[in-house]
Amino acid sequence: MNDYKNKLEELKNGTIQEIRVDKHEFYELREELVKREDFKHFRGIAHQNGNIVYVYLKEARS
């Protein structure tokens, strides 16, 4: 099991540039993501085969 809470914090702080997850990990990460107040600062970019790359945006998406 991944520690997505810490990974999301590292992404926010700039320690890491992105988080890559596959379709099997998506719901596990999303469960932690939607609990955050800065939820709208994270962008998930879908790729082939259900892979997703999350990045942190300085400005919240609408």
Q: What is the pLDDT of residues 19-46, one digit of tens each?
A: 999 999 999 999 999 999 999 999 999 9
Q: Residue 2 has what pLDDT?
A: 78
Give me 25's structure tokens: 């990990």
Q: How many CB atoms lie within 10 A of CB 54?
A: 19
Percent of all residues in the chain with a pLDDT value above 70, rounded to a whole number: 98
Task: Inform me whether the pLDDT recorded for 61 exceeds 90.
Answer: no
Q: How many angstroms separate the CA atoms of 50 and 62, rounded?
A: 24
The full set of domain ranges for the chain reads 4-56
Task: Inform me whether the pLDDT recorded for 1 exceeds 70.
Answer: no
